[in-house]
Every structure is written in C-alpha cells, then in structure tokens.
Chain A
Amino acid sequence: MSEEEFRDGGVLAEFKDVTALVKACEKVRDAGYKSWDAYSPFPVHGIDPAMGIKMTKIPAVILTAGLTGATTAILLQWWTNAVDYKFPISGKPFWSIPANIPVGFELTVLFSAITAFIVTLAVNKLPSFYNPLFNHDSFKRVTDDAFFISISSADKKYDFDKCKDFLEELGAIDVEQIKDDSHVNAELPRNLKIAGVVAVCLTFIPLGLIARARTAYSSEPRIHIIPDMDAQPKFKTQTANSMFPDGRSMRLYPEGTVAVGEPGTDDHFERGVDEDGAWVDTLPQQVSLNEATVKRGEERFGIYCAPCHGLAGYGDGLVHRRAEKIGSPSWVAPSSLHQDYIRTQPVGQLYHTIKHGIRNMPAYGHAIPPEDRWAIVTYIKALQLSQGAELKDVPASARVKLK
C-alpha cells in the first residue's frame, strides 16, 4: 500500500510516563477537544476526571433492566401458576409471593447482567475490527510501557499543525500523524465474511430439520438421545398381550390367593367385623391390651389424628384452628371424639373409620398398618374414658394426687 492511500486520521502523541499523561489529559480536556482518547498499559486512577469523562448512565439502564426482569418473573409465574395451568401443590395457594421470589431474583440478575454486557459493548462501540492506530508500529507498545493521547481528525477543532504544536507543548516526546486507511481497509477481511455467511447458513440446518419433522409423519420411533429407562421390557397397565388367550396383560389373582400386604380372610383383625358383618366389640387376638399397646396408640394418634382432632380429641387440632382462622369456606370441623354416639361405638367401627375414613375425613389405611390402627383404637377408648371419668373411676391409690 502506498503512502498516498492514507488519509489524515488525526494526531498520535506519546508521553513519557503516566503522570505526564494525566497532566496532558487535563490540558487537552480544558482546550475543549471532544473527539480524543488516552491510552495506557494499565488502568489509571483519576483518569476519568482528568479526561472530563462523566459518570456513565449505564447503572440506570441496568436498574431498569433488573426491574423489568423482576416484573417478568412475577408475571410469568402468576400467569402459568394461577391463570393458565392451575396445579395445586401441597395445599399452597396457586400464586404466592414467597415461591416467586427465587425466580424473581434470578431474572433480575440475568436481565441486569445481560443488559450490562450488551450496553457496555454498545457504548464502547465494540466489537470493532478496525482502528487506524494499529497502523502505527510505535502504538504496539501501548500494552507494554507506552502512554499515548490521540486527537481524531473528526474533532471540530482539529487542525493537524495546531494539534501537533499543542501536544508537543504539553510534553509529548513523539507526535505522529495518524494514518487512516479506513476507506480501503475498514472492511471485514474476506475470509471472515465467508466464514460468517457459512456459519449463518449452517444454523439453518437444524431449524430446517425441525420444521420438516413437525410436518412429516414417520412410523419410526422418535430419536431418543438419552433413553434413560423409557423403553423397558415389561407390560404396562391396560395394554394388550398376545401371550394370553384373553389378550390382557393384567392378570387376575388365581382363585383363592391373597397378595402380600392385602387384606386377607381375617375379618376381625383386618376389617373389624365378625362373620355376620357386624362391628366387633372386642380386640382381635393378634392385639393384646396392655400399656405398650396404648402407648403405641398414643404416639400414632399424636402423629396421624391430633393435627385435626387435637391432642385430647376435642376436634380442635392445629389444622382445624388454622382453617377457622383463615375462614376456609370448605372446611368441615373434625368431630369431637367425646360425643356420645362416638363414645358408644364398637371398636370395630372405630377401626373402620381409621382404615377407610368417613364422609369428609380421608382414609388412613394406606399409612397405618392394622396393628397400629388397633393400637390407636385402644388409645381412643382410653382417651374417652379419661375425659368422662368421675372420681370413683380413679384408683384409690392415685386419688391423693388429685386436688
């Protein structure tokens, strides 16, 4: 490239050290130049005021982005959880603020960070592939041990000779004219352009494949990149199986068998009824009435029943009190276990209530095995006795403790 192809890009002045640079910056700033810059191998404290650079407005932009992120997160969760696809999770309200905060926090940070990244690049006019200063060999030392000031020819006050004199006056040790060949050289290199076009074209391939897959039909199963345990050599419920004459994959029990863990034939123990189907009034033989059983019952009652029925069985458990307090419209009060009609119930009926629930009370058979159900029954009986007790029911030896 011959010299004539360069245009006047401005002046580039080198300074001895960082102190000289900062001093010179102050002068250039005061002289009223606008389109100029300073270069140093390391960040220099105090260069911003020396160059007259004002505090950036980026924080305000980031704050706005952060608030947008927070709002987006809240709206997203509100819409998905409370409007578009209501899905009850452990009795929580569909839309509740505490659950929204982590996502709100994340999106605030995400929006802020991405905005900060993009805005900072944009404000600094990056990425940029061309700068005339790179045409100067002397400038290469700027990442090493040299300090420069450049005034661009785009500056309104620019005049090469005046600038040169001015900078020399400020103590520049070397002043050059910037060789600007942006008119021929600021273009992206050809190879880079081709690579870019190719890359963009390549990105269309997966898009194209997806578009095709959405409209085309295939008898092949879809591609399973991570199969996990999706395909297993077993029959699922309600599917066909040609191995059996009736074609069902779900088999019935062979006549007269009982599965492990399922109710067997012991009606007294497992159902609380006698041969005629009436409630039994005695404990089954598997359960012996002793202190250990009642204690066990007390413990299980405390876990499974007290939350609703209360520790003393008056139907005033915590769940009930809470429901009352928030005025839940659908709440049915748990029965007090000390009502006459329950006090007189045979043990078999109480057993049945635990196993299957009753009216609005859910069943607890799945959670409490038969032995424990009976243990709870013994405890309920003891509890009922204690609440209706009179002085004569108390053993004489214990009466002295009463007042």
Chain B
Amino acid sequence: MASKAKKPDFKHANLDPGLAQKIITFGGAAAVVGIGGAAGLSAGHWDAFFHAYMIAYAYFLAIGLGGLFFVILNHLVRAGWSVVIRRLAEGAASTLPVMGVLLLPIVISVLMGNHDLFEWNDPHLVETDHLIHKKHAYLNANFFAIRFVIYFGFWTLAARYFLSNSLKQDETGDHKITTKMERFAAPGMFAFALTLTFAAFDYIMSLQPHWFSTIFGVYYFAAANVSFLAVTIIICRWLQSKDARMLPGLTVEHYHDIGKLLFGFNFFWSYIAFSQFMLIWYANIPEETEWYLERQEGGMAMVSIALLLGHFAIPFLGLISRRAKRNLKLLTFWSVWLLAAHFIDMFYLISPAQGGHGGEHAAGAVHFGPANILAFVGVAGAFAAAMAFALRGKKLMPIKDPRIVESLGFHNV
C-alpha cells in the first residue's frame, strides 16, 4: 500500500565524508599504482599495456554509462519505485568526466600518430589497406578527437545536470526541478543512444577496423546495464552492511526489482550477442567471420565458451526464480558473478585486437597477464574515487523527490 508508507529518518542517509575520503584516498592510490604499474610492467610492449588498459577502461566506462542511462530512463518514464536508488545512479554517472580524463592520454597519443592501439591511424595502412582506406573519412585522428569531445562533453553535462539538480532538490524540495529534469530526459535519451553507440564503435569496434557490426552499440549498451545494476546491488548491500541508516527504507522489494532488471538486461545481452553472431554466421562473409574465427581458435575458444556459459546460460538459470532475486545473499552472489562475466566480455571483445597489427599473430592466443590485473585495479580505483568524490557528504537518496514516498512504499505483488 504505497500511500501508507511513512518517510523514514534521513538524518544519517549521508555518505559519511570520512568514509568518502577513505575511498578517495585508497581509490586514488590504487589508480596511480595500478595504471602506473601496468605501464611499468609492459614498458616497451605498449601494445600489451594499451590493450590491458582498454579492457579495464571499457569495463568501468560501461558502468558509468549504465548509471547515466538509469537516471535518464527513470526520469523519462517518471518511475516511482526506483527513486531510492537514483542517487547512486547519479553518482555512477558522475564518474564519466573522470573516465574522460582517463581516455585523454590515448586520444592525445592518437593525435600524435600512435597506432599501437588503433591501427587505422597507421598512415601506411591507410594507403595500402583497401578497407581502412575507405573508412579513413571516419576513422582518422582529428575526427576521433572531435568525437571524443562530443561524447564526453555530453556525458559530463548530463551527469552534472542530473546530480546537481537532484542535490538542489534535497534542500529546496521544489517539485518543479523534477519536471525540468523530466523534460531534459527525452532529448537526453536520444543523445545518449547516439553517443553510446558511436563511442562503442570508436573505442572497441575500431580496434579491429576491418570488422563492423551495426548492432555493436546495442551490445555494449546491454553490457553497460548489466554491469551497472550488478554494481548497484553490491554497493547497496555494502553500504547497508556498514550502516543500515545510510539507505533507510531500501528493502528487499527494491532489490527484487533491481534483480528483475538485472536478469532482464542480462538476457537482453545474450539476445543481442546471439543476434550479432547468427547473422554473421549465416551470411558467412570473410570480413565479418574473421572476427569470430579469431575468437573460436586456440585459447580464445575457451574464453568464448566461458562467456557463453558465464554470461548467459548459468546466470540465466541462476537468476530466473523469484527466490534468487529476493534472497539478498544469492542476489549478491549473482551480481559478483555477472561482474566477473562482464570482465570476460570486455576481454573477449578487446584482447584479440592485440598483436594483430600488420604482422602475423597467432589467432586465438590469450593475452592475459599481470598488466591486466593492475590496469583493472587502477581503473577500478579511479572509478570508486570519482563516485565517492561526487557523493561525499551528500544524501544517498533524493530525499525530497516528489516520488520518494511512493518509492519507499513500493511492494512487489
């Protein structure tokens, strides 16, 4: 009975500045040590470092984008139930400016002509490679940099817009702010869809510039949602275990709904992944099958199978029942599981591009090393620090949102 829920006490619903400071310090240190260490480890093998870095980078960029999508979506449809976790989504989205900074060195290196990561930036290949030559109008350093500015410009603006307005409402309680954000959500959704799609093309698909798949943006979008929802579940559980008063009124009913979305988006991911695969498999055109062939040989075949089972079959069965979504231990377990699967996914997308530049390379080789772990720790640290920085001292729920009461009283039938 939604109407009857009482507002709980929000006095302690802040992200304690001390805790935030700790996260920022540790996260920042992890970022420096991780990214620096990965770079140091692979000094001389920039190819290896760049790819390890991109895997970690795409992993966390997805989470930030998933957060932004969640915010825009819930404003767009005027969702009630989700208000209690919207602040966390706003926090995740607020990592996007930092993600922009983390990509900057790569954009600069591309502008300076480096082509360890993006072989389409190799002037020799542009001349000799027919396909790369034809794609040069889009895949060139300057346009790449311009697009980078557009994507991150929009994401930064949108993330700031939603967080700052929502924080303002915490103080004033002005309902007009909600209306304003809802109005921005519709065009924002368009811009989000376009920027995410093309960013996925630029930062992941163009790593192997011969290959193309128009559904690729949707694939990354699905991965973004899965990873964001899984992270949200884990963050909520962690915060509540620290001090339940930080997220007052967040009950199993909300977890159940996040779990449903998690299950749904994970199946959506599988659906999209299969849609992409099946058309290419059926048409059997060399330019397209090449990409899958590389991933079906040698050690990469094992990675592909791990992805199929770990990202689809097993969690699908694991999360299908109502019980799995309402038993918080189980739900947390599957969230962690899916975050691991998300790593396999990014690894599967990106790592085969390594070593494939011009020269012969063993198709199907698995390029996994300590640099991968360090880069992951590094970007994770930066992500956590950025999120804690955005929310430090702030309420963890939009306490004066006009729908907060409805959200708190939310009940699954």
Question: Which A positions have Cβ atoms within 8 angstroms of B?
Answer: 18, 22, 43-46, 48, 55, 59, 63, 90, 98-99, 101-102, 307, 318
B143 within 8 A of A: no
Q: In the bound complex, what is the Cα–Cα distance between A330 and B304 (angstroms)? A: 30
| B278 contacts A46, C-beta separation under 8 Å | no
| A46 contacts B322, C-beta separation under 8 Å | no
Partner of B278, one of A48, A59, A102: A102
Least Cβ–Cβ distance between B256 and chain A, in angstroms: 13
- Secondary structure at the B interface, as helix, strand, loop or mixed, is helix
Least Cβ–Cβ distance between A307 and chain B, in angstroms: 8
Least Cβ–Cβ distance between B290 and chain A, in angstroms: 9
| B281: chain A residues within 8 A (beta carbon) | 98
Q: Could you list 20 examples of A-B contacts with CB < 8 Å?
A: A43-B413, A45-B1, A45-B2, A45-B411, A45-B413, A46-B411, A48-B413, A55-B322, A59-B322, A90-B284, A98-B274, A98-B277, A98-B278, A98-B281, A98-B282, A99-B278, A99-B282, A101-B274, A102-B278, A307-B286
| B278: chain A residues within 8 A (beta carbon) | 98-99, 101-102
| A101: chain B residues within 8 A (beta carbon) | 274, 278
Q: In the bound complex, what is the Cα–Cα distance between A44 and B3 (angstroms)? A: 11
Known: A45-B2, A63-B320, A99-B278. 11 other contacts (CB 8 A): A44-B1, A45-B1, A46-B411, A55-B322, A90-B284, A98-B274, A98-B281, A98-B282, A101-B278, A307-B286, A318-B286
Least Cβ–Cβ distance between A325 and chain B, in angstroms: 9
Flag B250-288 by CB within 8 Å of A: 1 or 0 each: 000000000000000000000000100110011010100
Flag B279-322 by CB within 8 Å of A: 1 or 0 each: 00110101000000000000000000000000000000000111
Q: In the bound complex, what is the Cα–Cα distance between A98 and B284 (angstroms)? A: 13
Least Cβ–Cβ distance between B119 and chain A, in angstroms: 19
Q: In the bound complex, what is the Cα–Cα distance between A318 and B282 (angstroms)? A: 18
Q: In the bound complex, what is the Cα–Cα distance between A90 and B289 (angstroms)? A: 15
| A46 contacts B286, C-beta separation under 8 Å | no
Q: In the bound complex, what is the Cα–Cα distance between A45 and B80 (angstroms)? A: 15
| A63: chain B residues within 8 A (beta carbon) | 320
Q: In the bound complex, what is the Cα–Cα distance between A142 and B405 (angstroms)? A: 28
Least Cβ–Cβ distance between A71 and chain B, in angstroms: 16
| A59: chain B residues within 8 A (beta carbon) | 321-322
Q: In the bound complex, what is the Cα–Cα distance between A208 and B277 (angstroms)? A: 48
| A22: chain B residues within 8 A (beta carbon) | 1
Least Cβ–Cβ distance between B46 and chain A, in angstroms: 27
| B320: chain A residues within 8 A (beta carbon) | 63
Measured CB to CB, the nearest residue on chain B to A101 is B274
Q: In the bound complex, what is the Cα–Cα distance between A48 and B321 (angstroms)? A: 19
| B411: chain A residues within 8 A (beta carbon) | 45-46
Flag B361-387 by CB within 8 Å of A: 1 or 0 each: 000000000000000000000000000
Measured CB to CB, the nearest residue on chain B to A96 is B281
Least Cβ–Cβ distance between A333 and chain B, in angstroms: 20
| B322: chain A residues within 8 A (beta carbon) | 55, 59
Which interface residue of A43, A45, A48, A99 has the most chain B CB atoms within 10 A?
A45
Within 8 A of A (CB), among B323-369: none
Q: In the bound complex, what is the Cα–Cα distance between A211 and B277 (angstroms)? A: 46
Least Cβ–Cβ distance between A323 and chain B, in angstroms: 14
Q: In the bound complex, what is the Cα–Cα distance between A22 and B411 (angstroms)? A: 15
| A46: chain B residues within 8 A (beta carbon) | 1, 411
Q: In the bound complex, what is the Cα–Cα distance between A90 and B285 (angstroms)? A: 12
| B2: chain A residues within 8 A (beta carbon) | 45
| A307: chain B residues within 8 A (beta carbon) | 286
Q: In the bound complex, what is the Cα–Cα distance between A45 and B411 (angstroms)? A: 7
Least Cβ–Cβ distance between A57 and chain B, in angstroms: 12
Q: In the bound complex, what is the Cα–Cα distance between A98 and B2 (angstroms)? A: 46
Q: In the bound complex, what is the Cα–Cα distance between A18 and B1 (angstroms)? A: 10
Q: In the bound complex, what is the Cα–Cα distance between A59 and B320 (angstroms)? A: 10
| A55: chain B residues within 8 A (beta carbon) | 322
Q: In the bound complex, what is the Cα–Cα distance between A277 and B166 (angstroms)? A: 89
Q: In the bound complex, what is the Cα–Cα distance between A48 and B277 (angstroms)? A: 44
| A318: chain B residues within 8 A (beta carbon) | 286
Measured CB to CB, the nearest residue on chain A to B275 is A102
Least Cβ–Cβ distance between B300 and chain A, in angstroms: 15
| A43: chain B residues within 8 A (beta carbon) | 413
Nearest 9 Cβ contacts at the A-B interface: A45-B411, A98-B281, A45-B1, A98-B278, A46-B1, A46-B411, A101-B274, A45-B413, A45-B2
| A102: chain B residues within 8 A (beta carbon) | 278
| B284: chain A residues within 8 A (beta carbon) | 90
Q: In the bound complex, what is the Cα–Cα distance between A59 and B411 (angstroms)? A: 19
Flag B100-122 by CB within 8 Å of A: 1 or 0 each: 00000000000000000000000
| B282: chain A residues within 8 A (beta carbon) | 98-99
Least Cβ–Cβ distance between B212 and chain A, in angstroms: 19
Q: In the bound complex, what is the Cα–Cα distance between A29 and B282 (angstroms)? A: 59
Q: In the bound complex, what is the Cα–Cα distance between A45 and B253 (angstroms)? A: 12
Least Cβ–Cβ distance between B77 and chain A, in angstroms: 20
Least Cβ–Cβ distance between A56 and chain B, in angstroms: 11
Q: In the bound complex, what is the Cα–Cα distance between A55 and B2 (angstroms)? A: 21
Q: In the bound complex, what is the Cα–Cα distance between A307 and B290 (angstroms)? A: 13
Q: In the bound complex, what is the Cα–Cα distance between A362 and B331 (angstroms)? A: 58
Q: In the bound complex, what is the Cα–Cα distance between A99 and B277 (angstroms)? A: 11
Within 8 A of A (CB), among B376-413: 411, 413
Within 8 A of A (CB), among B1-39: 1-2
Least Cβ–Cβ distance between B305 and chain A, in angstroms: 13
Within 8 A of A (CB), among B87-104: none
| B413: chain A residues within 8 A (beta carbon) | 43, 45, 48
Q: In the bound complex, what is the Cα–Cα distance between A102 and B277 (angstroms)? A: 12
Q: In the bound complex, what is the Cα–Cα distance between A45 and B413 (angstroms)? A: 6
| A44: chain B residues within 8 A (beta carbon) | 1
Measured CB to CB, the nearest residue on chain A to B293 is A322
Measured CB to CB, the nearest residue on chain A to B286 is A318
Least Cβ–Cβ distance between A318 and chain B, in angstroms: 7
| A98: chain B residues within 8 A (beta carbon) | 274, 277-278, 281-282
Measured CB to CB, the nearest residue on chain B to A47 is B413
| B1: chain A residues within 8 A (beta carbon) | 18, 22, 44-46
Q: In the bound complex, what is the Cα–Cα distance between A99 and B321 (angstroms)? A: 28
Measured CB to CB, the nearest residue on chain A to B411 is A45
Least Cβ–Cβ distance between A108 and chain B, in angstroms: 12
| B286: chain A residues within 8 A (beta carbon) | 307, 318
Q: In the bound complex, what is the Cα–Cα distance between A44 and B2 (angstroms)? A: 10
Measured CB to CB, the nearest residue on chain A to B280 is A98
Q: In the bound complex, what is the Cα–Cα distance between A192 and B177 (angstroms)? A: 58
Flag B135-155 by CB within 8 Å of A: 1 or 0 each: 000000000000000000000
